[in-house]
Structure formats: C-alpha cells, structure tokens
Chains A and B, each alone.
Chain A
Amino acid sequence: MAKKEIKAALIYSFATKKTSTAAKLIKDNLKELTLKEIDAESINANDLEAFDLLIVGAATWFDGELPTFWDEQIPALEDINLKGKRVALFGIGNQVDYPEHFGDSIGLLADVFTSTGAAIIGPTSTEGYTFEDSKSVKNNQFVGLMLDFENQHNLNESRIKSWCNQIKKEV
C-alpha cells in the first residue's frame, strides 16, 4: 500500500506521560504511515472527518472514566460523520489497582466512534491480563490495544509491535 493513499492521524494528549510514551512507540512502529499528530486536549472534531484512519489513545481515569479533556469532546465527536473511516484505539490502564474498570476508556471511545459510523479496527486478546471487568471487552476481546504501564511495563514494546503489524495488515 502506497504511503500517500491513507490519511492517518495519531490523537492523544500531549500532556500525558504514559499515553505519550505509548504514542511515540506506536509512531515508531508505523513508519509506513504518515501520521499527523493531534493533541487530544485541543481537537476540533470536524477536522477529523478529513482522515481515513484515526489512531486514538486514552488512559482510564477515576474508576472507569475518560480523562476530563476527552470527556468534554464527546458531544462534538458524536456529531461528526466518519462513515467508511477506521478508528484504532490504544488504552492505558492499571489492572491491579482498578480490576473492576480495567482500561475502560477505549471501550467508551469505541462506542462514540461507532456511533459516528466509523469501523473500529485492531482488537486484541485479553490473554495475559488479569482483571474482573472492563468496558473495553467486546466479543471477548479488547476493542484495541491495552497497555498497563504500572504492572506489565516490560510487555509494552512487544504488544505495541504486534498491534501495529495488525493495523498495517488491516488497512
């Protein structure tokens, strides 16, 4: 697939530590794509319609919530049209301290993006994680990539690498 064919964006909060770290690794693993980086804290929802692929990252906060800046964007995101577009999600959570809401954020975002007509790509297996419940598990798998910096830091690189390969295949 030629590089110029796909307009892709990588969206995450530039102010975060762990989410930003993950975003950088993802970018390194997706050199084939030209990724426009967008700060989630200052998105203009309508601008997103111009992309074919959105790679969106968010940590889970406050027992199963999106970070505040993401939460504020939802009403705007709901009203854009992403029919025919694809969204790949990467989430950050802590399965030991928050097993009841492990990585809920990308499950919440998946609902929002699905409601705009987008297709969610890049689901991953829940194998290798120990938790009780997660809004990000749909059809027995995570809706996207799930990372746990606090408890499985050493698995981040391999998880990111294989997920990126999967994304490349899917697009």
Chain B
Amino acid sequence: MKDIDIADLRRITELIKTKHSYDFTNYAMSSFKRRIVRILELYNLTVDSLIVKLSQPKFLEEFLNEITVNVTEMFRDPSFWRVLRDDIIPAILLNHQKIRIWHAGCSSGEEVFSMAILLKEMDILHNVQVIATDLDTNILERAKSGAYNLKNMDLNEKNYIRFQGTGSLKDYYQEVNGKAVMDKSLVMDVSFRKHDLVKGGIFNKFDLVLCRNVMIYFNQALQNEVLKKFHESLFKYGYLAIGSKESLIWCDIANKFIVVNNEEKIYKKIKD
C-alpha cells in the first residue's frame, strides 16, 4: 500500500472545497486516507495528477462515488430492527397517525428496504413517508433500482431470520438474471434524493432519523455539526438511531437527547 502524507490530503480537500461545493476537511483521517490511496491505485494516479483531474466536474462525480464507503446489509444488527418494530414505531404511533422517517446515508438502499418490509409486516407501510438520502448519486441509483447480487441475499436472509419477520425474505424479491430484484411496491412512496450532510440544509421534520454507520467517517467536530442538523430535523420527542458502535455521549448536543436503548443506540429528542 502506498502512503501519502497529511499535507497531500490537505491539498486534495482544499482543492475540492474551493472548486466544488463539497467539504471533506473533517472526514476521519485514517479511513479517508485509505480511500484516497485506493483511488490513486484504481486510476493509477499520483497525488498531483489526481489534483489536476479533480478540477473536471465529470471526474468529481466519479470521485464522490469512490471516496464514500457503501458497504451495507439488510437488517444489519437484527436486534436493532426488532427494537424498532416492538418499541419505537409503536411509541411513535401513539402520538402520530402519519410517520415521517429519514434515512440519512442510505447507500444502496438495503436499510430502506428493511424498513419497508418491517412497516409492511406491521401493516402501516402506507401511513409512513420515507425520505432516503445519500451524497453518492451512483449508489442512489442502485438503491432506486432495488436489484442486488444474489450472493448478498444469503446474509440478508440470515439477518431477516434473526429479526424474526413474519414471512421469508424471499416473499419480497424475485430472481431475475442472477439478481435479486426487490418488490418495487415496497418503496413506491419513498423519495430518494441526493443530500450532503456536511453542506446540506434542513429540509423537513421527522419522527425518526436513521443515520447508521455514516458519521463514523467524520471527525468529532463534524459529527457535532451534523448532530445539530439532526436535532433540528426531529420533532420534539422524535427518535435518532445511530450505528451500534457510535455514541452521542461526547457530543455538544447530548443533553438535548435521552438514551432510549443504549445497546441499539437509539436516542430521543427531549429539548428543542
């Protein structure tokens, strides 16, 4: 593996910041560095030639697709999804007939389909408005198409079984040309949009925000900024779910939330 130094990383992030409307300055250093090295190897570039290429808008889009880490699963952490189904969603339903959910950093959509299946099995799919966003346009297209590699379905199926769904994951997809094509009616009402958590504004209010395994790519300063946006995007008593190995306790905004489930990292906004 090649190594590049911090000065080179700064040159890259500075250029992107001044030439384009993205800011990677506050991404967590070690994984960002590995991503840059990976891009250099993939395109066979030096840091200097990468910087030249980055001025081209067309390449920038490709760069965004490669710099992001898109690894995801359906029903990742099955116990988390059980808590959503058994505790969180019923609690929201006590106060709201219509529920609004935001998947921030939805990647290729496995999380969105998991949610849709959960809601369908609760028989409330059509009472829920879901917005799914990501920075990476390529991956959003993949999410919209809802077609996955069959070899990933093994793991998804195992997770679904641990989630203890009412049927079988096979009820929700068909095998077409070696792909698992998800039932489109599941995400009929989902709005997939490009949105940048770093530069983007607040666009709606939600009962539940899921942002799992996204902020791990940010440093703490940026996590604080993004958490402020989530706080503003939630109704009072709305819920925020982060990845199972993330934590709110060090954040500026921690006192405006309470822990609802520490194991699954689900928080509730209690102060405006």
Q: Do A and B assemble together?
A: no
Q: Interface on A for B, CB 8 Å cutoff?
A: none
